Amino acid sequence: MSEEEELSYSEAIEKAGASISRFPLIPVRGVPLMSYIANNWDSIWAFRPDPSDLLIATYPKAGTTWTQEIVDLLFHNGDAEACKRAPTPVRSPFLEIFSPPPIPSGLDHMKTMDPPRIIKTHLPFQLVPTGFWENKCKVIYVARNAKDNLVSYFYFDCMNLTQPEPGPWEGYLPKFMRGELSWGSWYDHVKGYWMEREKKNILYLFYEDMKENPRREVERIMRYLDLSVSEEVISRIVELTSFKNMKENPMANYSCIPKPVFDQSISPFMRKGEVGDWRNHFTPQQSEMFDQDYEKQMKDVNIPFRDNI
């Protein structure tokens, strides 16, 4: 192992020190990505997964970490201790992430792991390395209604000190609508995977369904992964992946990422975990303006989003 691989995440971040900042966005095939990702795009695009690797794809803040935890627990038959072996980003590498050295990239991480790996990505469908489709990898996509997704992203951009400055809420909202945030347009993202879900055998889940009936969704994930765990284990997984339990779990709540990157005193990573929090943030005028634009941007699809349950 190289010296870099031996460093824990927090040690690597401490060492990277002053080179950590709010990175600008650079478009990759029209999609704005953090400069470190854009500057390493060729190696990300060339990544070849193993056919047994699983991809969990989301627009940022749609329920990625929750799904990663459910899948890891399913792979480990609900063994809570086994799933506390390391923090989420170490157990489940982030495909496209690149940061200042010596922080390991997602690709570095994957090299140290044997398949099957639970790989996370926020890349829109068209930027997913083609090896995933050629190797017929399983892909779980999680979508969250636009308004809650936007609110969650706003708080995340306040506390993630490597993302562009979010500025005030009033200005952030139109940036989301115009697809100017990291990883681009929410509208294109959810549509891209939706249109391909049948052809590519993508399991398309909704955050709201997971909140409404987590057991049903855990069972759906289990079947998709061709796993079979007992009823009791399903119950345990539902319990271990409740918002409250994950918030208190240092291996799932991102407390592994120190303050120069995730300043959880600004907003916790496990913030609220609810459906409908958007009502506490959108004014009636903002909601109306957002809905009108939403109609236009989503007119070509009929994805059954719900912004309350």
For the CA atoms of 135, 137, 142, 146, the dihedral, rounded to the nearest 10 degrees, stands at 0
Which residues are CB-contacts of 192 (< 8 A; sequence separation ≥ 6)? 124, 125, 126
- Closer Cβ to ligand A3P, 175 or 271, answer by number: 271
Least separation, in Å, of the C-beta of 21 and ligand A3P? 21
Pairing of strands 54-58, 138-143: parallel
Least gap, CB of 241 to ligand A3P (angstroms)? 5
- Tell me how far, at minimum, the Cβ of 33 lies from ligand A3P, in Å: 16
Please, which residue, 132 or 269, has the CB nearer to ligand A3P? Answer: 269
Which amino acid appears at position 215 of this protein? R
Distance CA 84, CA 282 (A): 37
The answer to whether the beta carbons of residues 132 and 47 sit under 8 Å apart is: no
Name the residue nearer to ligand A3P (CB basis): 7 or 158.
158
Q: Nearest distance from residue 299's CB to ligand A3P, in Å? A: 26
Rounded alpha-carbon distances, angstroms, from residue 26 to 30, 52, 158, 217: 9, 32, 20, 36
| CA gap 177, 275 in Å, rounded | 20
Q: Is 122 one of the annotated active-site residues of the chain?
A: yes
Assigned token pair, 9 = 């995440």
Nearer to ligand A3P, 61 or 91 (CB): 61
Enumerate binding residues for ligand A3P (CB under 6 A): 58, 60-66, 148, 152, 155, 241-243, 246, 270-273, 277
The catalytic position among 76, 109, 122, 189 is 122
Active site residues: 122
